[in-house]
Amino acid sequence: MALTFIHTADWQIGKLFKRFPDEMSGRLQAARLDAIDRLGALARSRKARFVLVAGDVFDAEGLPLKVRLQPLKRMEAFGDVRWVLLPGNHDPAAAGGIWSKMSGHLPLNVSLADRAEPLEIDDDVVILPAPLRQRVSSHDPTAWMVACETARDVYRIGLAHGSVTGFGHGDDANALIDPMRAKSAELDYLALGDWHGAMRIDARTWYSGTPEPDRFSDNESGNALVVEIAAPKAEPKVETVRTAFFTWVAMSEALSDSAHLDGLRSRLDAAFPDGLTRALVRLDLTGGLDLSQMSDVRAWSAALDAELAYLAVRDDGLRVRGDLSAHPAFLGQSELLAAAQLLEGLVASSDEADDAGRSRQAQVGLQLLLDAVETAIEEEAA
C-alpha cells in the first residue's frame, strides 16, 4: 500500500516578532497558527495518512498555556488527520520542559514522539523518532535508528531535528545529523527539521522548512512537503507545496535618480502578482539623490508602506548629492544655501570619518532645513 504523508517542521508557535510593531507582530503570530489549518487542509486534500512535524512545534519552553493549547486545538480540529510531533531544540522533551506540561492536553489524533523508540502507525508504518531532550546536544540523535529492527515490508520513516553534518550551521551546530542516515538506517524517508527552508539532502532525506516564513531570507521557506512512497524501499516522491500566508522579500536598490523608483515598483508588482497586502518588504536603498529626489523617495516610500503589510526602508546608505544651489528653494537665499552646504559638507566629512551616526544626523538636518525652507516659502506665498 502506497504511503502519503505531509512533512512539516519549525512552526515555532509563540515566536515573538519583536522587531516589528505590536500589530504586525500579532499578525505574524496569527499567521503561524493559521498555517496549521492550511497543513490540515493539505493533508486532507492529499489524503495523507499523517502529518510529521519534525521538531520545534513551539518556539520556547515557557510559553503561556493559551499559546501552548492553540496549536493543539487547531490540530484537534482536523480530527481525521494524525499528527506526529517531535520535540526539537526549541521545545526539547526535557524534564520540566514544555511537553511535560502537555501530557494531559494532547488530542487523540496527536502523537508526541518524545522517545527514541519505534512508533507504529497502522501496521505498515514505523516512525523512528529522534527527539531532542535538551536544547544543546552534541550527539547524533538518529544514531539509534541504525540498530533499530523493524518488521520487513514496513515503511521505516525517520523523524529528526538538527543540522546535517557540515550543513547549514557550521561546525558548532547543535544536534548534528549524519546526512547518510537514511541509507545507513535503511529508512524510506528521513523527515528533518531545523532548517527553515525546504531543502533536499538526498532522495530520501529532506528538510521541509517552516510553513510560514519568519525572516527576510531567500531560502524557500513557507512550504510543506507532500511525500508519496509507492512501497517500502521505493524512492519517495516529494512535492513542495506553498503554505505561507505572508511573503517576505528583501530588496536593495542603488538610486541615482528618482526614476529608479518606478523600476523598483515594477519589480515589486511582479514579485507579488496578487497584490502587496501580504508582503513584508525590506528595502535597502543606497546611492545618491538630490534633495528634491530625496523628497520623492520619502513620498514614494510612504505610499508603498500603505500598500504593504510591512515595509522597512534602510536608507542610511542613501546620500544627498547634486548642486544645492540649483534647488529652487535656495534660489536667492544665499544664507539658507550656505547653511545647507554646511550640512552637506558635514554629511560628507562624517562619511569620510566613518561616523555614520553623525552623517545620518547631518542628512536629517539637511532634510529638515529643506522642509522648513519649503514650508516658509509656502507660508510667504500664502
Partner 1 sequence: MRLRALRVADVGGFVEPVALEGFSGRLDLLLGPNETGKSTLFRALQAVFFQKHSAKGKFLTRLTPVRGGTPLIEADFEIGGGNWRVTKQFGSGKTAMLQAVGGGASWRNADAEAKLQELLELSDAAPGRFGALWVGQRHGLGVPVLDVDPDTSRARSAGEQQALLAAIEQEIDDTAGGTLASTVRDLLLEMAKPLLTDSIAKPQPDGPKAKPRRDGPLDRALRHCSDLEEALEVARTRAAETAESRLRLEAIERELSQVMAPDVAKKRVDRVGELRRKFEAAQKAADRLKLLTTERDRADAVATREEAAFQQYCEGLETVHSLLKRRDALRDKRDHLVADIKTLEDQQVVFAHDVDHAEQTVVQARAVYDAQVYSQRCAEIRKEQSRLRLELDRARRLEDDVHRFHAVLRSSRVTSELRETARRAQRDIELAENRMDAASTWLNVEYLPGKSGDIAIGDAPLSAGTPVRITSPTDVVIAGVGRLMLSPGDNNDIGDAKAQCDAAQRLLSDALQAADVADLDALEAMFAARAEAERALSDAVATLNGIAPDGLRTFEARLGELEDMLTDLGDGSDIEAEILAGDDIGSDGVAADIDPGSMRTSVPLPVLEARVRQFKLDRDAARARLSQAEQTFKTSALALEHCQDKLRDCETKILEFEGHLGPSDERANMSDALRIAGEDARLVAREAQLAVVAARDDVLDGAALEALQAQVKEAEQCVTEAADRAQLLKDERAERLALIMAFDEDGQSQRVDQLEGELARARREATRLTNYAEGLKLAIGALDRARAQSHDRFARPVYRALAPFLEALFDDAEVVFDKDFRPVEICRNGADDAFDLLSDGTQEQIGLLVRLAFGRVFAEAGQSTPIILDDPLAYADDERLAKTFRALEAASAHQQIFLMSCRQSVFRKLGGHTVQLDRWYPDAGGAPIRSSTSQKLTA
333 touching partner 1, by CB under 8 A: yes
Instruction: Give the interface segment with partner 1, choosing from 57-65, 171-179, 257-265, 271-279 (CB under 8 A).
Output: 57-65
146 touching partner 1, by CB under 8 A: no
User: Among 227, 217, 225, 148, which Cα is nearest to 181's?
Assistant: 148
Residue 256 or 349: the one with the smaller Cβ distance to partner 1 is 349
User: Among 231, 189, 230, which Cα is nearest to 52's?
Assistant: 189
Residue 242 or 321: the one with the smaller Cβ distance to partner 1 is 321
Residue 173 or 339: the one with the smaller Cβ distance to partner 1 is 339
| Contact set for partner 1, span 94-133 (CB under 8 A) | 94-97, 101, 133
174 touching partner 1, by CB under 8 A: no
352 touching partner 1, by CB under 8 A: no
317 touching partner 1, by CB under 8 A: no
Residue 274 or 335: the one with the smaller Cβ distance to partner 1 is 335
134 touching partner 1, by CB under 8 A: yes
Using CB under 8 A, pick the residue from 80, 274, 379, 381 that binds partner 1. Answer: 379
234 touching partner 1, by CB under 8 A: no
Residue 17 or 78: the one with the smaller Cβ distance to partner 1 is 17
Query: How many residues bind partner 1, per CB under 8 A?
Result: 53
Using CB under 8 A, pick the residue from 10, 56, 61, 315 that binds partner 1. Answer: 61
Residue 160 or 346: the one with the smaller Cβ distance to partner 1 is 346
Instruction: Give the interface segment with partner 1, choosing from 58-66, 109-117, 243-251, 303-311 (CB under 8 A).
Output: 58-66
Using CB under 8 A, pick the residue from 16, 77, 259, 302 that binds partner 1. Answer: 16
User: Among 87, 105, 106, which Cα is nearest to 97's?
Assistant: 87
147 touching partner 1, by CB under 8 A: no
366 touching partner 1, by CB under 8 A: yes
Using CB under 8 A, pick the residue from 18, 104, 138, 171 that binds partner 1. Answer: 18
Whose cell is 558635514? That residue is 346
Question: How far apart are the C-alpha atoms of 242 and 256, rounded to whole Å?
Answer: 37
295 touching partner 1, by CB under 8 A: no
33 touching partner 1, by CB under 8 A: no
Using CB under 8 A, pick the residue from 149, 380, 381, 382 that binds partner 1. Answer: 380
Question: How far apart are the C-alpha atoms of 296 and 123, rounded to whole Å?
Answer: 66
144 touching partner 1, by CB under 8 A: no
Residue 28 or 191: the one with the smaller Cβ distance to partner 1 is 28
Residues within the interface to partner 1 (CB under 8 A): 14, 16-21, 25, 60-64, 92, 94-97, 101, 133-136, 332-340, 342-343, 346, 357, 360-369, 372-373, 375-377, 379-380
